[in-house]
Amino acid sequence: MTTTLDIVLWVVVPYVCLAIFITGHAWRYRYDKFGWTTRSSQLYESKLLRWGSPLFHFGILAVFAGHVMGLGIPKSWTDAVGLSESVYHAMAVSVGLLAGLATVVGMSLLIYRRRTNGAVFGATTRMDKTMYLVLGVVIFFGLWNTIGSGVLNLYDHYDYREGVSVWFRGIFTFQLHPELMAEAPFPFQAHGMAAMLLFALWPFTRLVHVFSAPLFYLWRPYVVYRAKSERFGARAPRRGWEKSEKTRR
């Protein structure tokens, strides 16, 4: 039994956010390559960044990998290879907790640094603040789900792999299950909703730097040469008057 509200929240909103996410990135890449940067603030301060940034980044990348597993891989597959529910659960919760903790500590350091260092605070934009707020909410509920549901079992053995995950995959395979989200415990709903908001904001924040992760560096030659024809603004010469030999310097 799904209400209109459920359909709006768990079908319309996801597609709208996805559309903004994709077209937003395309638009920004087309019109604002120059603004596409990490906007590093290390020049101003590096003692706190030295700890905060790697903790946060390694943490969030591990969290991301966890999501790929938890959301992307159907339960039937892990069952098929003989991974038992309890082993999977123990693994997910322990690794998830560790990664989540690193992320939260790292992010707290980063936010503390942003607020207390005059130079870094001066370089903080409104969009940075919005992004940190939404990211913070997403991470808070995400960690709460791991602890509240995974460790403390507050939600009656809710198995997100048979709820949230199926709904999430359905968005991409057009098998829509808004009812699964409507039934999910509130913290799971909040985590999902905040995450969709974050995806809609993504292209308009410094988070675009994630898509530039420079893995190609491992293979390319050290020194890059470029000839004129490849350079920006250059084009094939057109027909026209050539300078006479005599006036050449």
Partner 1 sequence: MRVMAQMSMVMNLDKCIGCHTCSVTCKQAWTNRTGTEYVWFNNVETRPGQGYPRTYEDQEKWEGGWTLTKRGRLRLKAGGRIKNLATIFSSPKLPSIEDYYEPWTYDYETLTNAPLQEHSPVARPMSLITGKDMNITWSANWDDDLGGSELLAADPILAKVSDKVKLAYEQTFMFYLPRICEHCLNPSCAASCPSGAIYKRAEDGIVLVDQDKCRGWRKCVTGCPYKKIYFNHKTGKAEKCTFCFPRIEVGLPTVCAETCVGRLRYIGLVLYDADKVLEAATVTDPKDLLESQRGVFLDPFDPTVMREAERAGIPRDWVDAAQRSPIWALISTFKVALPLHPEYRTMPMVWYIPPLSPVVDVVQETGEDAEEAGNLFAAIDTLRIPVEYLAELFTAGDTEPVTGVLKKLAAMRSYMRDINMGRPGDPSIPAAVGMTTGEMDAMFRLLAIAKYDERYVIPPAHAEQAHNLEELATECSLDYDGGPGMGGSGPFGEGSGAGTPLAVENFRVLKDRQTSDTTAGAGTGPATRVNMLNWDGRGTPPGLFPGRDGPPAEPRTESAPDGQDTP
Which residue ranges make up the annotated binding site for heme b?
57, 67, 191, 209
Residues with Cβ < 8 Å from 69, sequence gap 6 or more?
Answer: 92
- Which tokens hold the place of 38? 């990490």
Taking CB positions, which residue lies at the least distance from ligand HEM? 40
How far is residue 4's CA from residue 169's CA, in Å, rounded to a whole number?
21
How far is residue 188's CA from residue 211's CA, in Å, rounded to a whole number?
26
Q: Which one of ligand HEM, partner 1, none is in contact with 204 (Cβ closer than 5 to 8 A by kind)? A: partner 1
How far is residue 9's CA from residue 6's CA, in Å, rounded to a whole number?
5
24, 53, 160, 163: residue in contact with ligand HEM (rule CB under 6 A): 53
Q: CB 95 → ligand HEM: shortest distance, Å?
A: 17
Tell which positions 35-64 bind partner 1, by CB under 8 A. Answer: 35-46, 49-54, 56-58
Q: CB 3 → partner 1: shortest distance, Å?
A: 33
How far is residue 56's CA from residue 101's CA, in Å, rounded to a whole number?
9
9, 14, 24, 41: residue in contact with ligand HEM (rule CB under 6 A): 41
60, 143, 181, 195: residue in contact with ligand HEM (rule CB under 6 A): 60
Q: CB 49 → ligand HEM: shortest distance, Å?
A: 6
Q: For residue 211, which of 24, 85, 48 has the smallest C-alpha distance? A: 24
7, 123, 147, 154: residue in contact with partner 1 (rule CB under 8 A): 123
Nearer to partner 1, 33 or 246 (CB): 33
Tell which positions 160-199 bind partner 1, by CB under 8 A. Answer: none
How far is residue 98's CA from residue 102's CA, in Å, rounded to a whole number?
6
How far is residue 71's CA from residue 74's CA, in Å, rounded to a whole number?
7
173, 186, 224, 247: residue in contact with partner 1 (rule CB under 8 A): 224
Q: Which one of ligand HEM, partner 1, none is in contact with 60 (Cβ closer than 5 to 8 A by kind)? A: ligand HEM
Number of residues that bind partner 1 (CB under 8 A): 64
Exposure string (b/e) for 52-73, b if CB count within 10 Å is 16 or more? bbebbbebbebbeebeebbbee
Task: Report the Cα–Cα distance between both ends of the chain, in Å, rounded.
Answer: 84
The set of long-range contacts for 34-42, using a CB threshold of 8 Å and a minimum separation of 24, is 36/208, 36/209, 36/212, 37/206, 37/209, 38/206, 38/209, 39/123, 39/206, 41/114, 41/119, 41/120, 41/123
Q: Is 71 in the site for partner 1 (CB under 8 A)?
A: no
Q: What is the binding site for partner 1 (CB under 8 A)?
A: 31-46, 49-54, 56-58, 118-119, 122-123, 125-128, 204-206, 209, 212, 214-218, 220, 222-228, 231-235, 237-238, 240-243, 248-249
Q: What is the binding site for ligand HEM (CB under 6 A)?
A: 38, 40-42, 49, 53, 57, 60, 110, 114, 207, 209-210, 213
